[in-house]
Structure 1
Amino acid sequence: MKIVGWLVRILPFAYMVIIWNLSSMPDDAVIELPSSSFDRFVKESLHLVEFAILYILFVFAFLTTDRFTVKSNLFCLVIAGIYGIIDEIHQSFVPYRSATIIDGVKDITGVSVAYYFVYQAYFKNRFTRFAKLLKAFKEVFL
């Protein structure tokens, strides 16, 4: 189980590399949906999800170490949020990509919403199914 734990700890960094590489390409390099307005809507919505996933991966990484505390949870929030901003800055230098303040706000909003649910579930015992999932994940590695 130690190997799986290390893989879970490496996952957020691998995901960051994937984000960086995808941000280095034109926005239609991987997929372009038939309707341009729907394509734009989906890709703009992904800002909310993309960095929330990064935050969750950091949470899972901390859960494998038994060091998931209120402070480390806040650390996960800050790192995912800052990486969202860094990614927007990076995109501003990539031809055929754009970076806007609203994109950064969407990145941080997605991370903040995920943070709220994790914090409430894990530390305040709300959202009981989600809390059980997080605690069961932790127990697997301890």
Structure 2
Amino acid sequence: MRKRLAQLPVFVYTVAIFVGSSLPIGGQFNVLGKDKILHAIEFGLYAIAMNVAIVYSGNTKYVQGDIFYTILFSMFYAAFDEIHQGFVPLRDCSVYDFTADVIGIVIFITIYKLFNKMVKSRYVPIKIKNK
């Protein structure tokens, strides 16, 4: 149950990105790179959801290399998303968008893992002495 619950956010986010990328919207966000920032945030958050799904998957191969697999799987989906947009009217497949996606993935997952490490290092369980 916990495994499925951990996979739900990345599944929902995957569908949301696909649906959003399927809409024939022109470049109204393309003001001074604003769309690239949105790409980085979108796929940065996707990478965090992917990492949670991987860590709770129970597959030791993926869990041991969770950062590598998170970046790899997130990059594959970012590439798929860009290729998909090439077939949508008023959209295009852009290497610059993909680059922004990858930068967001790497930055967000790095910050997320460092934050987790910092929080875990400060956690000290209370020891109860038995009398």
TM over 0.5: yes
The one of 90, 99, 113 aligned to 1:96: 90
Per-residue CA deviation, residues 69-125 of structure 1 (Å, 9 max, x unaligned), is 451221011000111011001001100112211111001111111232244445xx4
Q: Which residue of 2 aligns with 1:138?
A: none
Q: Which residue of 1 aligns with 2:19?
A: 21
Indicate the percent of aligned positions where both proteins have the same amino acid.
Answer: 23
User: Closer, same or farther in 2 for the Cα pair 1:119/1:70, shift >3 Å?
Assistant: farther
Which stretches of structure 1, 4 residues or more, deviate above 6 A after TM superposition? none
Where does structure 1 lack aligned partners over 5 or more consecutive residues? 136-142
Larger relative helix fraction: 1
Q: Which moved more, 1:105-114 or 1:4-13?
A: 4-13
Question: Size of the alignment, in residue pairs?
Answer: 118
- Shift of the alpha carbon at 1:57? 0.3
1:105 aligns with 2:82: no
- Shift of the alpha carbon at 1:6? 2.0
1:84 aligns with 2:78: yes
1:54 aligns with 2:54: no
Per-residue CA deviation, residues 32-91 of structure 1 (Å, 9 max, x unaligned), is 9xxx5xx33443321101111111001122333465745122101100011101100100
Amino acid at match of 2:25: D
Cα contact 2:57–2:63 (8 A) shared by 1: no
Where does structure 2 lack aligned partners over 5 or more consecutive residues? 124-131
User: What is the rounded CA distance, in whole Å, between the counterparts of 1:69 and 1:119 in structure 2?
Assistant: 13
**Length-normalised TM-score, structure 1:** 0.68
**Superposition CA RMSD, Å:** 2.7
User: What is the rounded CA distance, in whole Å, between the counterparts of 2:96 and 2:75 in structure 1?
Assistant: 14
